[in-house]
Amino acid sequence: MLRIEYVYWLCAALLAACALHDLRARRFAAAAFWGILAAIFLGGDAVAEAAAQANALPAQCVGIGVIVLALIAGSGALRRVPEAADPAAAARRHESAARLGHQLFVPALLIPFGTLALSLAQPYTPWAPADRGQFTLIALGIACLAAMLAALWLTRSSPRQAVVETSRLLDALSWAALLPMLLAMLGAVFAATGVGEAIAHVVAAAIPTQSPTACLLAFAFGMVAFTVIMGNAFAAFPVMMAGIGLPLLIGEHHAHAAALGALGMLTGYCGTLLTPMAANYNVVPAALLELRDPNGVIRAQWPSALALLAVNFAMLWFFAMP
C-alpha cells in the first residue's frame, strides 16, 4: 500500500541533498534553511501522530522551526549570487539541444502525462489509497521520479549533477518556495483566533441590511477583499456566506442558493488573482520565471481579474437575486 508519506520522504531526501550541497559550498544560511525543512518533511508524519495522541511537544518544536525559517528568510542571508552567464555553457546547451532535439521534451512531458495516466489507472490499482487528492500527489511523485530517471539517462548525467541543478533552482526560488505553506498556516491561525468572524461582524454591522443591492455589494466585495487578505477564496467563502450570504441574501432577500454559492466563490477567485498572499499562484511563478518584479504576475493579470469581477457581479445581480 502506497502512502502519501513516501512522497514527503522523497521531498525530505531532495531537500537534505540540497542542504548538503549548500553546506559544501559554504552557503550556511541556505544549508540551515533547507536542512530544517528537510527535517520537518521527514518527521511530519510522526508529528501528526504525536499530536493525535495529545503530545504537543513535536508540533511545538516544528513551530519553533517555522519561526527560525522565517527569521533566516527575513535576514536576507539566503540570497545567492547568480552565476554569471557563461558563454561556454550556453554553447554547450545549444549543441546539446541540436543533438537531442525533441527527445528533450520526453522527460518534461512525462511529468504531466505520467500523472494523468496514473490518475486514470487509480480504480484498477489495489495498492493505491482511496483518497483522490492524496492519490494525485502520489501519482505526481511517481511521475517526477520516472521523469528524473529518464532525464538522467537521456542527458547521461550523474545523480550529483541532478542535485547541483536542483540546488540552483531551489536557491533561485528561495523563501518563495515556503510561502504557500506559511500562508496555509496563517489562514489556520486566523481561523482559530476569530479574525474571520470579526470581519464578517464589522461588515454586517456597517451595511443597510434592508437593501438587497447593499447586501450583494458587501457580499461580492467582501469575498474579494477577504480573499486578498487570506490569499484563498476557500477561507473567505464560509466567513462571508455565514456573515452576509445566508442570513441576509438568502434569509431576507431570497437569493438563489446554487447561483449565489458558485458565483460567490468565483468572485473570490478574482481576488486570488490580485494578491501576493496567494503565493503559489502569484509569487512562486514570479520567482520560477525569474521576473525582476516579484509582483509581475499580478501586474499581468489584474485587468483580467477586474473584467471577470464585473462579469461575476453582473451574473450575481441578474441571476442570483429574485
Partner 1 sequence: MAPTVSIVRYHTPMNYWPLLGVAVVVFGFAVRANPALVVVIAGVVSGLLAGLPIPDLLALIGNKFVASRNLLVLLLTLPTIGLLERAGLREHAQAFIARMRTFTLARLLIAYLALRQALSMLGLTGIAGHPQTVRPLLAPMAEAAAEKIDADLNAADRDRVKAMCAATDNIGLFFGEDVFIAFGAVLLIQGFYAQNGINLDPRSISLWALPTALAAFAIQSLRALRLQRRLRGKRNSHAAH
Q: How many residues line the site for partner 1 (CB under 8 A)?
A: 155
Please enumerate in sequence order all residues whose Cβ is within 8 A of that of 103, keeping only pairs 6 or more positions apart, or say none.
154
**DSSP secondary structure, 139-190, as one string:** HHHHHHHHHHHHHHHHHT--HHHHHHHHHHHHHHHGGGGTHHHHHHHHHHHH
Is residue 269 part of the contact set for partner 1 (CB under 8 A)?
yes
181 vs 217, beta carbon nearer partner 1: 181
Distance CA 125, CA 75 (A): 47
Is residue 36 part of the contact set for partner 1 (CB under 8 A)?
no
The stretch near partner 1 (CB under 8 A) out of 21-29, 100-108, 121-129, 211-219 is 100-108
Q: C-alpha grid cell for residue 235?
A: 477561507
45 vs 217, beta carbon nearer partner 1: 45
Q: C-alpha grid cell for residue 46?
A: 510522526
The stretch near partner 1 (CB under 8 A) out of 19-27, 121-129, 148-156, 210-218 is 148-156
Site string for partner 1, 230-259 (x = CB under 8 A): ---xx--xxx-xxx--xx--xx-----xxx
**DSSP secondary structure, 256-302, as one string:** -HHHHHHHHHHHHHHHHTT-TTSHHHHHHHHHHTT-SSTTHHHHHHH
Exactly one of 16, 23, 29, 140 binds partner 1 (CB under 8 A); that residue is 140
Please enumerate in sequence order all residues whose Cβ is within 8 A of that of 155, keeping only pairs 6 or more positions apart, or say none.
96, 100
The stretch near partner 1 (CB under 8 A) out of 8-16, 24-32, 80-88, 206-214 is 8-16
Is residue 70 part of the contact set for partner 1 (CB under 8 A)?
yes
* Residues 191-220 contacting partner 1, CB under 8 A: 192-202
User: At how many degrees (to 10) do helices 132-155 and 87-100 cross?
Assistant: 100
Exactly one of 128, 216, 218, 273 binds partner 1 (CB under 8 A); that residue is 273
The stretch near partner 1 (CB under 8 A) out of 24-32, 123-131, 212-220, 272-280 is 272-280
Closest CA to 73 of 270, 283, 240: 283
Is residue 132 part of the contact set for partner 1 (CB under 8 A)?
yes
Q: C-alpha grid cell for residue 188?
A: 489556520
Is residue 161 part of the contact set for partner 1 (CB under 8 A)?
yes
Exactly one of 28, 56, 82, 86 binds partner 1 (CB under 8 A); that residue is 56
The stretch near partner 1 (CB under 8 A) out of 20-28, 122-130, 161-169, 212-220 is 161-169
Closest CA to 17 of 169, 139, 176: 169
Instruction: State the nearest-atom distance from the C-beta of 169 to partner 1, in Å.
Output: 5
Is residue 162 part of the contact set for partner 1 (CB under 8 A)?
yes
Segments in 174-232 forming alpha helices (H): 179-192, 195-206, 212-230
Is residue 82 part of the contact set for partner 1 (CB under 8 A)?
no
Please enumerate in sequence order all residues whose Cβ is within 8 A of that of 201, keeping only pairs 6 or more positions apart, or say none.
243
* Residues 163-192 contacting partner 1, CB under 8 A: 163-166, 168-170, 175-186, 188-190, 192
Is residue 222 part of the contact set for partner 1 (CB under 8 A)?
no
Is residue 154 part of the contact set for partner 1 (CB under 8 A)?
yes
Is residue 86 part of the contact set for partner 1 (CB under 8 A)?
no
